[in-house]
Structure formats: C-alpha cells, structure tokens
Amino acid sequence: MSNILHITASIRGDESVSNALGNALVDGLSAKNDASVIHRDLAANDLPFQSWDRFNAGLTDSGERTVEQGALAAIADKLIAELQAADTIVISSPIYNFGVPASVKAWADLVARAGTTFQYTPDGPKGLLEGKKAYITVVSGGTPVGADFDFMSPWLKFFLGFLGIHDVELIVADGTMGDDGEAKIAAAHAKIAEITGTD
C-alpha cells in the first residue's frame, strides 16, 4: 500500500478551489493505488514560525535533547515524518499576494533540516527525499501561473527539488476571478481525471 500526504493551505476551507482540486486528485489517486492518506491542513493548525531555539532543537540528536528542546522540535519532527513516509505528496495552495501563503513558508522552514531532509556535500546541498512524486494544485484569482510575478509555483517546485523531490507536476486553475474562471477550473478537473483514470 502506498502513502499519500495531502497538504492544504487555503484559508477558505470548504469553499477553496485549490482544496477541491486537491481532494479530487487525492480521492482518485488513493482509489487507483489503494493508498492511505494523511491530511495536513496548514491553514487550520497554526504552525509556529521557525525560531533560533526551535532550529537548534531540531538539529540536536533526539536522544540528547532537553525536555524543552523535545517540545520545541516535536512539530517539525512530525511534519518531517509525514514527508518521509509519503510516496506521493499533493500540495493544494492558492497564490496569495504573488507568493505562497505564510503557512506554506512556515511549513517549509520546519521541514528543511540539514542531515535529515537534505545534506551539505562538496558539490552543494543534496535532497534526501528522493523517489517521491509530487503534485501541486495551484489556484489564483488573478496571477497567471508562470508569469514573471508568479513567485509561488517556481519557488515551491524549487524547494521540493531542494529536498530531493524532482518529479513535480502542476495542476493549474489561474485567473479564476476572470470571465473564463469556471472553464479553467473545469480544465483542471479534467486534467485530474486524466491523471487518475477517472474520466
């Protein structure tokens, strides 16, 4: 059985288009591959921002941490374990103010841990989470994905690659506030049906 990690970030909850696309993709993939699913809602869980003490706690061997360090490192340990266990990662995220939601950046800062999810080598950093497939269901009201001022999708793809996840596929519904917004959402759902074989 394979494992799917579904990460959502929209503040709109059940009204979110990115969540709806991600849910459709996860449902289709899990049925197709008999997969288990872990859902991590970044918008609801109020992730802490990285701090110096939390950062150092994460780099301290778990057997050598103080009680305080153990408490500080616990959330990052859990998020990293979810990533490590996943065969497929689905990130459902809107574009907020041309970039990722703050919760996605907080998540990224917590899971990027030297020696665990990446390592420094003489040739530069090397990701340690290789062999995984990632999908990003990205939605924007107005920012065209791939435009010079889309700082979300290239950054998120680069960050996943930094962790060793290079097989990344985007499913896009951009400009949803425009006249053809519904058509773009329908096209994204059609792509999901094609990926999952549910068309």
What CATH superfamily is the domain 3-196? Answer: Flavodoxin domain (3.40.50.360)
* pLDDT of 111 above 80: yes
**Domain chopping of the chain, boundaries:** 3-196
- In terms of residues, how long is the chain? 199
88 with 14: CB under 8 angstroms?
Answer: no
In tens, the pLDDT along 54-84 reads: 999 999 999 999 999 999 999 999 999 999 9
* pLDDT of 33 above 90: no
CA within 13 Å, CB half, 114: 9
Residue 137 has a pLDDT of 97
DSSP code at position 149:
T
Distance CA 23, CA 139 (A): 14
Outline where 34-117 has alpha helix (H): 52-59, 67-85, 102-111
Distance CA 182, CA 173 (A): 9
Residue 198 has a pLDDT of 78
* pLDDT of 110 above 70: yes
Share of the chain above pLDDT 70, in %: 99
